[in-house]
Amino acid sequence: MTERSPYSTIAIDGPAGSGKSTVGAALAQRLGYTYFDTGVMYRAVTDAALKRGIPIRDEAAITRLAEDLHIDVLPPTVADGRQYTVLADGEDVTWAIRRPEVNANVSVVSQYPGVRRAMMPQQRRIAERGGVVMVGRDIGTVVLPDADLKIYLDATLEERAQRRWREERARGQERPFDQVLADVRSRDELDSRRAVAPLRPADDAIILDTTHMTEEEVIERVVALATSTPVPSTAA
Using one digit for the tens of pLDDT, what is the confidence trace for 5-44?
999 999 999 998 898 989 999 999 999 888 888 989 999 9
- Does the residue 101 lie in any domain? no
Confidence of residue 236 (pLDDT cuts 50, 70, 90): very low
- Does the residue 119 lie in any domain? no
Q: Where are the alpha helices (DSSP H) in the chain?
A: 20-31, 39-52, 59-68, 100-110, 113-127, 157-170, 177-193, 215-227
Mean per-residue pLDDT, 111-119:
93
Q: How far apart are CA 26 and CA 20, in angstroms?
A: 10
pLDDT confidence of residue 232: 56
Residue 138 has pLDDT above 80, yes or no: yes
Averaged pLDDT score across all residues of the chain: 91
Distances (CA, A) of 110 to 85, 93, 127, 186: 20, 18, 20, 14
DSSP state of 14: -
pLDDT confidence of residue 231: 59
Confidence of residue 235 (pLDDT cuts 50, 70, 90): very low
- Does the residue 131 lie in any domain? no
The residue among 112, 121, 94, 117 whose CA lies nearest residue 54 is 112
Condensed to tens digits (0 to 9), the pLDDT of residues 216-233 reads 999 999 999 999 977 555
CATH number of residue 1's parent domain? 3.40.50.300
Confidence of residue 76 (pLDDT cuts 50, 70, 90): confident
Backbone φ and ψ for 155, nearest 5 degrees, come out as: -170, 165
Q: How far apart are CA 125 and CA 148, in angstroms?
A: 16
Mean per-residue pLDDT, 133-160:
94
- Does the residue 169 lie in any domain? yes
Burial of 38 (0-12, 13-18, 19+ CB in 10 A): buried
- Does the residue 90 lie in any domain? no
Query: How many residues are given for the chain?
Result: 236
- Does the residue 142 lie in any domain? yes
Mean per-residue pLDDT, 137-156:
94
Backbone φ and ψ for 232, nearest 5 degrees, come out as: -60, 140
| Beta-carbon contacts of residue 213 (< 8 Å; ≥ 6 apart) | 221
- Does the residue 88 lie in any domain? no
pLDDT confidence of residue 130: 87
Between residues 74 and 86, the one the model is more confident about: 86
The residue among 89, 209, 84, 67 whose CA lies nearest residue 134 is 84
Q: Give the structural domain span for 193.
A: 1-33+137-228
Amino acid identity of residue 174, one-letter, is: E
Residue 234 has pLDDT above 60, yes or no: no
Distances (CA, A) of 183 to 106, 132, 139, 179, 197: 11, 30, 23, 6, 20
- Helices 59-68 and 39-52: angle between axes, nearest 10 degrees: 110
- Give the percent of the chain with pLDDT over 70: 97
Mean per-residue pLDDT, 142-148:
94
Note the maximum CA span of the chain: 58
What's the total number of domains in the chain? 1
Mean per-residue pLDDT, 192-217:
89
